[in-house]
């Protein structure tokens, strides 16, 4: 679906907070710890959310105009150790419990991975199913991400685990799967031209990322070929039957998780 696709109507608000914990800090409290305020007037509409403001500033999104709609789930960042981007994204989603190292041990025991790599969305989905508990629910999405169904789920507070090709700045690109990486999509933004963006976290940086949903969708759909990851030339990686373009691979696949026990932040 193109960027000009219709924007879904505003859905009912997400369900009330289902669990409370001192570890679930508010977005404003988290931002004060993680992100310094920008000194200029760019993205000033997000002044009370410095982490989001920085992400929009770095991506040159809504620099001088407030978005029509924006919300995100305040999930803490976790930096990955080794080629564990998918497991780290899942650990972020679960508030670090279990840790990426614990997920790696589990995935290795299930023969889903050797060194932490997750070149099968099906394998990661099975780990999600195993480790999420009520009230969380998850389901598999197959097809392009830039569609009304995904937009509606994001607007309702869902998070997504998405494989894509990461450019040098970690933004979505198209390298046929040679730079495959996993991200956790935690929110969305619609600018004054009705362009739909996603708010993301991943294991290579503490910063929030803001990417075009269309670009992420195209990147996810171009994952057709494995290449030995840079910096890990001497490691052996496990590929699913049929490779990353096969039925258990990465192409046009993502994982949707709903009913998260976080208070969704509505910006603006």
Catalytic residues: 85
Q: Quick check: 137 and 229 in contact, CB under 8 A?
A: no
Between CA 237 and CA 114 the distance in angstroms is 6
**CA proximity to 166, closest of 86, 87, 91:** 86
What's the DSSP call for residue 259? Answer: S
| Burial readout 216-254 (b: 16 or more C-beta within 10 A, e: otherwise) | bbbbbbbbeebeebeeeeeeebbebeebbbbebbbbbbb
Q: Residues 6 or more apart from 21 whose CB is under 8 A from it?
A: none
Q: Quick check: 100 and 229 in contact, CB under 8 A?
A: no
Between CA 225 and CA 188 the distance in angstroms is 29
What's the DSSP call for residue 27? Answer: H
């Amino acid at each position: 679906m193109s960027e000009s696709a219709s924007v879904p109507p505003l859905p009912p608000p997400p369900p009330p907070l289902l669990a409370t914990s001192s570890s679930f800090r508010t977005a404003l409290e988290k931002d004060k710890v993680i992100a310094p305020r920008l000194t200029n007037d760019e993205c000033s509409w997000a002044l009370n959310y410095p982490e989001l403001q920085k992400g929009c500033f770095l991506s040159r999104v809504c620099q001088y105009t407030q978005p029509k709609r924006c919300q995100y789930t305040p999930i803490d960042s976790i930096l990955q150790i080794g080629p564990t981007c998918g497991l780290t994204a899942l650990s972020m989603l679960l508030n670090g419990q279990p840790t990426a190292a614990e997920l790696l041990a589990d995935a290795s025991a299930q023969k889903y991975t050797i060194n932490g790599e997750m070149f099968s969305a099906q394998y990661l989905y099975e780990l999600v199913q195993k480790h999420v508990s009520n009230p969380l629910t998850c389901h598999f999405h197959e097809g392009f991400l830039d569609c009304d169904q995904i937009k509606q789920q994001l607007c309702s507070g869902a998070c997504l685990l998405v494989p894509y090709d990461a450019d040098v700045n970690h933004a979505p690109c198209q390298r046929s799967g040679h730079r495959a990486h996993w991200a956790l999509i935690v929110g969305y933004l619609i600018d004054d031209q009705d362009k739909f963006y996603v708010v993301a976290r991943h294991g290579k940086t503490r910063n929030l990322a803001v990417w075009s949903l269309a670009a992420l969708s195209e990147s996810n759909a171009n994952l057709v070929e494995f290449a030995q990851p840079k910096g890990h030339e001497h490691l052996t990686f496990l590929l699913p039957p049929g490779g990353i373009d096969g039925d258990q691979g990465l192409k046009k696949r993502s994982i949707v998780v709903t009913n998260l026990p976080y208070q969704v932040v509505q910006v603006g």
